[in-house]
């Protein structure tokens, strides 16, 4: 303001100086100069005022744009204290806020796209649901819809699991491809991958198929129940009645009576199931002993641990002959299906036992005194072992894997999957060290004692008793060895003695 007054004062002095030399009406010229100056300032101020108005309108538009973004994001509006800020500062602050809100909208749009994709996959995975995902405009709506679909899927899976359990309770041997699809549907963590693999199946389609299968099974059971009632002269039980329990009782009654047809008894069709069972248990005592012996033989062939050798009991705490027969039949079928593999497994287990025995005695030099053939026998066993054992193991890895793939079951020997047994042995340091010790000890003994053998055989008249040597492998299906631990069983001679 001081600078402007100084300029005005100098300008006025200059005007007076110029007017002195001119033949003009000085008062008139002074007034004209003042008016021209005022007009200049009015025009200049009008320009500034117009620019300020434009800036004010721009700020108002920015504020409106900012509020629209707040509303779109469903966030509370934030007001700016415009009294304390210039228009330029307001514009800068609002623009920064708009950029921030636009970034949030971009992130929201990405999330919304992902949610729409998840909703689409869920709809297809469940089936028979139609939602226009393009009409979902907010992430809140998308989350709500997705939550509803997850609840529907959970209920659908419960219904499918219930149907599957009912079908398997009616038909425990069911191994249909449909059951495989259902189990994969219930357990999958990648719904899109499952849909791609099993197209055009979905949850609703599986439930419909299971419902149909269940109705067919129930119909067959009803027919069988009616037939057995007539055959066994049994009345229809009073409601409420359980069809499966009645069928199980009728089947058991028929089986008991069929097995008792060669025994003298006074049972009739009106006898209770408990009376029939007790009569059967009394008349088949000797058969139970034979069944127990046969079951034990099968357990021995498969090296079943003692804690897994469980024989079901009847109400009278007698061995359940029927359950034993069922288990005998199951194991006979199982043993026959793995007969070729079982021969190799038993041979491999025999080698494992002999390795322990060999390790126990190979460190005693006294075993060679007076026996010129002992070293040759050990060398022969070492060569046989180094040649046969790895080949046996490789063959069994391949054969067991092929059998499990074709049968869709685990091959159990020694109470656990045999592939796991071999894998544990492969990872077990002690097992590998034992094999190395077997290969190296005999080699060292051959080098150190070749000359001593002839001297010992000439000087010693009465040879001491030699330790047991490896025997011929056992017959293909007979149990001749106890279970050998699969890991850490050769830490010391004491530990080897304990297990052998």
Q: Is 128 inside any structural domain? A: no
Q: Is 42 inside any structural domain? A: yes
Cis peptide before 240 (omega within 30 of 0): yes
Structure tokens at 388: 């046969």
How many independent structural domains does the chain possess? 5
Q: Same domain for 181 and 71?
A: no
Q: Of 268, 298, 332, which marks where a domain is finished?
A: 332
Check residues 239 and 59 and name the one with the higher pLDDT. Answer: 59
Q: Is 108 inside any structural domain? A: no
Name the pLDDT band for 1 (thresholds 50, 70, 90).
low
Cα–Cα distance, 378 to 357 (Å, whole number):
12
Across 88-92, 265-269, 347-351, least confident range: 265-269
- The phi-psi region of residue 488 (left if phi > 0; otherwise alpha if psi is between -120 and 50; otherwise beta) is left
Q: Same domain for 273 and 304?
A: no
| pLDDT tens digits along 457-473 | 344 344 444 444 445 45
Q: Is 97 inside any structural domain? A: no
Q: Is the whole model's pTM more than 0.85, yes or no?
A: no
How buried is residue 12: exposed, middle or buried, by Cβ count under 10 Å (0-12/13-18/19+)? middle
Q: Same domain for 319 and 394?
A: no
Q: Same domain for 28 and 73?
A: yes
Cα dihedral across residues 66, 68, 72, 74: positive or negative:
positive
Q: Same domain for 345 and 367?
A: yes
Q: Same domain for 360 and 436?
A: yes
Cα–Cα distance, 70 to 98 (Å, whole number):
9
How much is the pLDDT for 79?
A: 79
The answer to whether residue 195 scores a pLDDT higher than 80 is yes
Check residues 448 and 359 and name the one with the higher pLDDT. Answer: 359
Q: Of 48, 79, 110, which marks where a domain is finished?
A: 79
How much is the pLDDT for 176?
A: 63
Q: Is 94 inside any structural domain? A: no
Q: Same domain for 369 and 466?
A: yes
Q: Same domain for 269 and 321?
A: no
Q: Is 397 inside any structural domain? A: yes
Which range marks the domain in which residue 310 is found?
287-332
Structure tokens at 142: 């998308």
Q: Same domain for 466 and 433?
A: yes
What number of CA atoms fall less than 13 Å from residue 73's CA on the CB side? 20
Cα–Cα distance, 155 to 384 (Å, whole number):
61
The answer to whether residue 150 scores a pLDDT higher than 90 is yes
| pLDDT tens digits along 10-54 | 888 888 888 888 888 888 888 998 999 899 989 999 999 999 999
Cβ atoms of 355 and 435 within 8 Å: the answer is yes
Q: Is 104 inside any structural domain? A: no
What is the average per-residue pLDDT within 237-260? 83
The answer to whether residue 160 scores a pLDDT higher than 60 is yes
| pLDDT tens digits along 134-149 | 888 888 889 999 999 9
Q: Same domain for 322 and 350?
A: no
Q: Same domain for 60 and 27?
A: yes
Q: Same domain for 264 and 309?
A: no
How much is the pLDDT for 29?
A: 87
């Amino acid at each position: 303001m001081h600078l402007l007054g100084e300029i005005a004062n100098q300008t006025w002095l200059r005007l007076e100086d110029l007017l002195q030399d001119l033949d003009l009406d000085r008062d008139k010229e002074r007034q004209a100069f003042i008016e021209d100056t005022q007009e200049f300032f009015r025009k200049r101020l009008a320009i500034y005022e117009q620019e300020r108005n434009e800036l004010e309108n721009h700020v108002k538009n920015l504020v409106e744009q900012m509020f629209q973004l707040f509303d779109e994001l469903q966030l509370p509006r934030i007001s700016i204290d415009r009294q304390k800020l210039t228009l330029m500062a307001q514009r800068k602050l609002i623009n920064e806020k708009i950029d921030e809100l636009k970034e949030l909208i971009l992130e929201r749009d990405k999330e919304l796209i992902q949610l729409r994709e998840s909703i689409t996959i869920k709809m297809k995975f469940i089936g028979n649901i139609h939602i226009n995902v393009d009409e979902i405009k907010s992430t809140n709506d998308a989350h709500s819809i997705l939550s509803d679909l997850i609840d529907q899927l959970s209920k659908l899976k419960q219904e499918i699991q219930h149907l599957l359990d009912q079908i398997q309770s009616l038909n425990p041997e069911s191994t249909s491809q449909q059951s495989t699809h259902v189990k994969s549907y219930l357990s999958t963590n990648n719904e899109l991958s499952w849909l791609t693999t099993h197209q055009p199946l979905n949850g609703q389609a599986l439930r419909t198929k299971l419902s149909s299968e269940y109705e067919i099974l129930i119909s067959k059971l009803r027919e069988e129940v009616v037939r057995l009632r007539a055959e066994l002269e049994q009345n229809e039980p009073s409601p409420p009645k359980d069809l499966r329990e009645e069928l199980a009782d009728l089947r058991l009654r028929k089986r008991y009576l069929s097995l008792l047809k060669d025994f003298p008894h006074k049972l009739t069709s009106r006898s209770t199931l408990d009376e029939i069972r007790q009569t059967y248990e009394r008349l088949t005592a000797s058969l139970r002993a034979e069944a127990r012996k046969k079951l034990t033989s099968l357990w021995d062939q498969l090296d079943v641990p003692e804690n897994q050798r469980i024989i079901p009991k009847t109400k009278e705490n007698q061995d359940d002959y029927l359950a034993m027969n069922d288990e005998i039949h199951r194991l006979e079928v199982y043993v026959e299906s793995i007969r070729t593999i079982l021969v190799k497994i038993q041979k491999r287990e025999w080698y494992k036992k002999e390795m322990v025995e060999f390790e126990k005695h190979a460190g005693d030099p006294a075993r060679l005194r007076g026996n010129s053939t002992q070293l040759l026998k050990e060398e022969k066993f070492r060569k046989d072992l180094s040649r046969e054992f790895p080949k046996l193991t490789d063959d069994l890895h391949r054969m067991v894997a092929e059998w499990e793939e074709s049968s869709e079951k685990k091959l159990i020997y020694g109470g656990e999957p045999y592939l796991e047994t071999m894998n544990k042995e492969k990872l077990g340091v002690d097992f590998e060290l034992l094999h190395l010790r077997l290969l190296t000890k005999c080699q060292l003994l051959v080098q150190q004692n070749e000359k001593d053998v002839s001297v010992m055989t000439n000087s010693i008249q009465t040879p001491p008793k030699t330790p047991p040597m490896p025997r011929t492998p056992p017959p293909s299906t007979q149990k001749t060895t106890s279970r050998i631990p699969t890991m850490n069983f050769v830490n010391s001679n004491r530990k080897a003695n304990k297990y052998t």
